[in-house]
Amino acid sequence: MKKLTDTFGRNITYLRLSVTDRCDLRCAYCMAEHMTFLPKREVLSLEELEQLSGAFIDRGVKKIRITGGEPLVRRDIMTLMARLGRRLEAGEFEELTLTTNATQLVHHADVLRSVGVKRVNVSLDTLDDEKFAGLTRRNALSKVLAGLDAAQAAGLKVKINTVALKGVNEDEIPAMIAWAHGRGMDLTLIEVMPLGEIEADRVDQYLPLTAVEDNLRTQWTLTPLEMRTGGPARYVKVEDTGGVLGMITPLTNNFCAGCNRVRVTCTGQIYMCLGHSDRIDLRAALRSEKPDAALDAALGRAMLKKPERHAFDISERGAAPSVSRHMSVTGG
Ligand code: SAM
Ligand code: SF4
């Protein structure tokens, strides 16, 4: 089998695939209030998404995470999940997962489980109704909580992702960890990253997780865990709750040496690193006369371009984002 190996000897075994740039929420750190979304013809069709996923599976990708935008707002998403589920069942790759805001999860949890999804990541930054509405510019916390109930009832393992935001959910973080662990869900904290133009200044949102961790240690015992996922998260066990806490610290801690992933946008642009603007157009390859050969060449070029490490910087007030595209474009 032809593998995807970059110039630093890292094997790419993890694909994050965005299936839409659209979303039913407008999280303040992720999107502007009034976003212009892509016309449909720009976005990969269901068949193209399937073909592309297949190309990665054929080259040794073992884990595929479907993301967005909000993946569950795409109407034909469950058809893609079912088709990928068949390849999963056949043992062609090892894990199919999803990152979602959970507003629609109540309608999809059972089907997700039935096509072979075992775990989902749910993004949730506050349990306070008003704060949620302020932060996401939509009144949808009750739908998210119903989605979580449905996911757990369907037997999906849930991990909560929480972006740590200065002065917004800072005080609520210990309570959210205790709540998640009390329901048998792990929780991972994420530092806000400078991706895309938004209304607020990133310096005002940025809360270093080192400060959060110091604060947690005043009330809890945190034991470092060895577990790594090839990604940027570090994990600790919170002895007092019995649960696992992850911390994604792109700005205070460099995690690039073990990077095993690439991201593909809903328009088929492959980004080798979240923190760089370099990309290769896989859609052009897919829509060319000889898609298989063109895709093979494009993926080869992509491997030559994967950089050694990211280049985020958030220290300068008023600075333009390090990377101009929004997280909802690249896929979280
Ligand atoms: N809509 C889905 C969701 O919210 O889970 C999937 C896509 S969303 C872009 C994926 C993740 O990216 C979410 O956990 C979100 O909190 C995170 N995210 C978005 N913008 C971010 C930023 N500027 N810095 C850090 N995390 C961000
Ligand atoms: Fe939508 Fe997810 Fe971005 Fe929030 S973080 S606006 S839910 S894509």
Per-residue pLDDT tens over the stretch 180-233: 999 999 999 998 876 566 566 666 778 889 889 999 999 999 999 987 666 678
The reply to whether ligand 2 has any atom less than 6 angstroms from the CB of 31 is yes
The region of weakest confidence among 52-66, 137-151, 298-312 is 298-312
Q: Given pLDDT bands bounded at 50, 70 and 90, which one contains residue 315?
A: very low
* Residue 249, helix vs strand vs coil: coil
- For residue 252, pLDDT over 60 is answered with no
pLDDT digits over 66-101, tens only?
Answer: 999 999 999 999 999 999 999 999 999 999 999 999
What pLDDT does 54 receive? Answer: 97
What pLDDT does 320 receive? Answer: 47
Tell me the C-alpha distance between 60 and 57, whole Å.
5
If you measure from the C-alpha of residue 330 to the centroid of ligand 1, how many angstroms do you get, rounded to a whole number? Answer: 10
Give me the half-sphere count of Cα atoms (radius 13 Å) on the Cβ side of residue 176.
Answer: 22
If you measure from the C-alpha of residue 327 to the centroid of ligand 1, how many angstroms do you get, rounded to a whole number? Answer: 6
Instruction: Specify the ligand 1 atom closest to the Cα of 67.
Output: 6
Instruction: Please give the structure tokens belonging to residue 37.
Output: 């979304």
> Quick one: average pLDDT of 134-145?
97
Tell me the C-alpha distance between 264 and 245, whole Å.
27
Instruction: Specify the ligand 2 atom closest to the Cα of 69.
Output: 8
Instruction: Specify the ligand 2 atom closest to the Cα of 327.
Output: 3
> Quick one: average pLDDT of 119-136?
97
Distance between the two ends of the chain, CA-based, in angstroms? 28
The reply to whether ligand 1 has any atom less than 6 angstroms from the CB of 100 is yes
If you measure from the C-alpha of residue 163 to the centroid of ligand 1, how many angstroms do you get, rounded to a whole number? Answer: 8
8 A C-beta contact, residue 48 and residue 76: no
What pLDDT does 317 receive? Answer: 47
The region of weakest confidence among 26-40, 177-191, 287-301 is 26-40
- For residue 17, pLDDT over 70 is answered with yes
What pLDDT does 309 receive? Answer: 78
Place of tokens 């470092």: 224
If you measure from the C-alpha of residue 136 to the centroid of ligand 2, how many angstroms do you get, rounded to a whole number? Answer: 8
> Quick one: average pLDDT of 126-148?
97
Instruction: Specify the ligand 2 atom closest to the Cα of 328.
Output: 8
The single-letter code of the amino acid at 76 is: D
- Count other Cβ atoms within 10 Å, centred on residue 116: 16
> Quick one: average pLDDT of 93-113?
98
- Does 98 or 32 have the greater pLDDT score? 98
Closest by CA to 12, choosing from 257, 231, 262, is 262
Q: Are strands 279-281 and 269-271 parallel, antiparallel or unpaired?
A: antiparallel
If you measure from the C-alpha of residue 297 to the centroid of ligand 1, how many angstroms do you get, rounded to a whole number? Answer: 31
Instruction: Please give the structure tokens belonging to residue 303.
Output: 């491997």
Q: List Cβ neighbours of 88 (8 Å cut-off, separation of 6 or more).
A: 94, 95, 96, 115, 116
8 A C-beta contact, residue 114 and residue 122: no
Closest by CA to 64, choosing from 264, 275, 293, is 264
Instruction: Specify the ligand 2 atom closest to the Cα of 101.
Output: 7
The reply to whether ligand 2 has any atom less than 6 angstroms from the CB of 101 is yes
Instruction: Please give the structure tokens belonging to residue 19.
Output: 């299936």
If you measure from the C-alpha of residue 63 to the centroid of ligand 1, how many angstroms do you get, rounded to a whole number? Answer: 19
- For residue 286, pLDDT over 80 is answered with yes
Closest by CA to 303, choosing from 319, 330, 282, is 282
- Does 320 or 292 have the greater pLDDT score? 292
- Count other Cβ atoms within 10 Å, centred on residue 3: 11
Q: Given pLDDT bands bounded at 50, 70 and 90, which one contains residue 276?
A: confident
Element housing 65 (H / E): strand 63-67
Domains of the chain: 14-330 (3.20.20.70)
If you measure from the C-alpha of residue 101 to the centroid of ligand 1, how many angstroms do you get, rounded to a whole number? Answer: 9
**Phi-psi domain of 124 (left: phi exceeds 0; alpha: psi -120 through 50; beta: other):** beta
Q: Which ligand is nearest to the CA of 332?
A: 1
The reply to whether ligand 1 has any atom less than 6 angstroms from the CB of 190 is yes
Q: What is the pTM of this model?
A: 0.91
The reply to whether ligand 1 has any atom less than 6 angstroms from the CB of 195 is yes
- Count other Cβ atoms within 10 Å, centred on residue 183: 13
